[in-house]
Amino acid sequence: MAIAMKIAGHISKSSWIRRMFEEGERLRQEYGAENVHDFTLGNPDVEPPDAFYRELRTLSQEPLPGMHRYMNNAGYNETRAAVAAKLTKDSGLAVAGDHVIMTCGAGGALNVVLKTILNPGEEVIILAPYFVEYKFYIDNHGGVPVEVWTNHETFQLDIEAIEKALTPKTRAILICSPNNPTGVIYPEESLRQLGAIVKKVHKRNGHLIYVISDEPYARIAYDGKHVPNIFPLVESSIIVTSHSKDLALPGERIGYLAANPRMDTVMQFMEGAIFSNRVLGFVNAPALMQRLVAKLQDESVDIAAYQVKRDLLVNALTAMGFEMVKPDGAFYLFPKSPLADDVEFVKLAQKHRILLVPGAGFGAPGFFRIAYCVDKAVIERSLPAWSNLAKEVGLKG
């Protein structure tokens, strides 16, 4: 075999998201893009905020000397300080630039954290439904993923189930809020309970359990809802995030990790994470993007536009008979599959030129994901196809 057996095995189980997106390419070539309703990829259709382009023009017209050279592996001090100032405001804690590392997106940040904290065979609890790449990231660094379901009806944290899953090998709990794929926001009280559990374990036997909060959607919340900052609620918390969604910069691969300043041995963790950022081959986050996002920490894309799309789809699909939890954030719906086999349902949807991702791809068979970060016109054009699909599977709206 030309490639490692492990990688060959991973490819066979790899992302349903990309697989379905590629199927969409085939259908677009066959039927035309306007006749294919692609809801597979969380790739924002909106443009970055105007402030991004203003800063970009300034840097291109008035370049700083040496602005494309290497910097500290953790990133530019001024950028780290800007992120820390935003986190200080959001958390009420004194977060310093020394608690921040600029990274190549949230995926890069998460790999840096896992490499820093994991010994071979240690466990990371992931909460189903979960972003499928989590398992591969954990495997990258010798860890073992342990799946724990959220509440099957609400997708909220099942604190009791998480506590039961803790073992002497548990090294971290990985959460995502607002969640991909459900759009659920975990409330303060749940996070506070989670923090109390890991603190109790640490006090009892000296076993530090990190809570890693994956937050690329933290600024995308609806109906006046608020995404709690995890730092005041969980002492051993680490934030990993990117500006892929809130600034609509997925292709620029710019994000950061931040460690809770109250965490035991926080600076030892930071030293390890800076080293891991280097030896994983990231070296440092993109220089130009670091310069730009330093001044954009209070900026965001137009959240109201996403809410309009959410409401359009939720109202239409619910009227057709589809069942789902109305999301409070992110830009995904995660309805129940009308067929027992969610993969078969997704295949059936393709006949109506609707492209979806089966829940099995998120560790949650029996559901399917809709990414509504598409043009509103795509959603509107898709509604007759959705109606025909609903009738074919016997839904009665």
Which residue shows structure tokens 């994991």?
118
How sure is the predictor about 339, in pLDDT bands with cuts at 50, 70 and 90? very high
For 244-259, how does the pLDDT look when each residue is reduced to its tens digit (9 = 90+)?
999 999 999 999 999 9
- Which of 27-36, 254-263, 282-291 has the least mean pLDDT? 27-36
How sure is the predictor about 34, in pLDDT bands with cuts at 50, 70 and 90? confident
Q: Under a CB-based contact definition with an 8 Å cutoff, are residues 131 and 362 in contact?
A: yes
Write down the pLDDT at residue 33.
74
Residue type, 189: E
For 67-109, how does the pLDDT look when each residue is reduced to its tens digit (9 = 90+)?
899 999 999 999 999 999 999 999 999 999 999 999 999 999 9
Q: Using the predicted structure, report yes or no on whether residue 172 has a pLDDT greater than 80.
A: yes
Query: What angle (nearest 5°) sits at the alpha carbon of residue 170, between those of residues 101 and 112?
Result: 20
Write down the pLDDT at residue 17.
65
Distances (CA, A) of 392 to 18, 49, 59, 199, 368: 26, 42, 55, 51, 17
Q: Using the predicted structure, report yes or no on whether residue 130 has a pLDDT greater than 70.
A: yes
Domains annotated for the chain, with CATH where assigned, are: 5-48+302-392 (3.90.1150.10), 50-293 (3.40.640.10)
Residue type, 216: P
Residue type, 122: E
For 217-240, how does the pLDDT look when each residue is reduced to its tens digit (9 = 90+)?
999 999 999 999 999 999 999 999
d(CA 34, CA 158): 42
d(CA 380, CA 383): 6
Buried-exposed string 281-290: b where 16+ CB fall within 10 A, e elsewhere: ebebbbbbbb
Write down the pLDDT at residue 347.
93
d(CA 364, CA 111): 23
Write down the pLDDT at residue 294.
97
Whole-prediction pTM value?
0.95
Write down the pLDDT at residue 211.
98
Helix 105-117 × helix 133-140 angle, to 10°: 40
